Amino acid sequence: MILRYVESVMRSREPELCIGTYDHPYVLRWHIIPRNRILSIYIHLFLRGDEDDALHDHMGENISWILEGGYCEEFRRGIRMRVPGRVYARLAHTPHRVHLWQTLSGKEFPFAHVPAVTIFVTGPRRRNWGFHCPKGWVPWQKIVGTGHYGARPGCAAFEAGYDKMPAAREAAHGQTKHAP
């Protein structure tokens, strides 16, 4: 029943947010309860796994309810399978990274990933979020850049000073497109 509702929302309107670029999206997001100070609920359609070379955390405690597809979630101490029908909780400061599956029901997808559909719930903002780079924690603004949802240079590029070269960054990634 919930999957039918989610699918109807995804068919009936454009996503409110494209994380990544429109020509290479990472996650499409539909708001069920838009971001606010208490509780936010989103539909996430993962189209690819995290590309960052570092784990990331979140601004508030959060849960992911996997509805379709699934993924592996990488933590500092290992990788855990995340399967449909289950709910997984994280503290805001828990570093992790998402890897989409390349197989589903025995069928292999060597050059593509199996999309995953989730309900993502986040509680009140507790902190800034960021990336756990080799030289330490870095706020998202330094890695992701202005606009928040453009191409990400990653920790290695940040630590080499790439974030201080906006012209080179724009040339490398093209114009960032944002959801309306």
Which is higher by pLDDT, 52 or 145?
52
**The pLDDT of residue 152 is above 60:** no
Specify the pLDDT at position 107: 58
Say what the pTM is.
0.77
Q: So what's the pLDDT on residue 34?
A: 93
- Was domain 2-129 assigned CATH 2.60.120.10? yes
Quick: pLDDT tens for 99-124.
888 755 555 554 567 889 999 999 99
pLDDT at 128 over 80: yes
pLDDT tens for 66-95 read 999 999 899 999 989 999 999 999 999 999
Higher pLDDT, 136 or 50: 136
Is the model's pLDDT at 153 over the cut of 70?
no
Q: Where are the domains of the chain?
A: 2-129
Count Cβ atoms below 10 Å from residue 34 Cβ, excluding itself: 9
The per-residue pLDDT for 28 is: 92
Tell me, what's the pLDDT at 165?
Answer: 47
6-32 pLDDT, tens per residue? Answer: 999 999 999 998 877 777 788 899 999
Tell me the average pLDDT across 45-60.
85
Confidence tier at 175 by pLDDT (50, 70, 90): very low
pLDDT value for 109: 54
HEC string for the chain: CHHHHHHHHHHHCCCCEEEEECCEEEEEEEEEECCCCCCEEEEEEECCCCCCCCEECCCCCEEEEEEECCEEEEECCEEEEECCCCEEEECCCCCEEEEECCEECCEECCCCCCCEEEEEEECCCCCCCEEEECCEEEEHHHHHCCCCCCCCCHHHHHHCCHHHCHHHHHHHHCCCCCCC
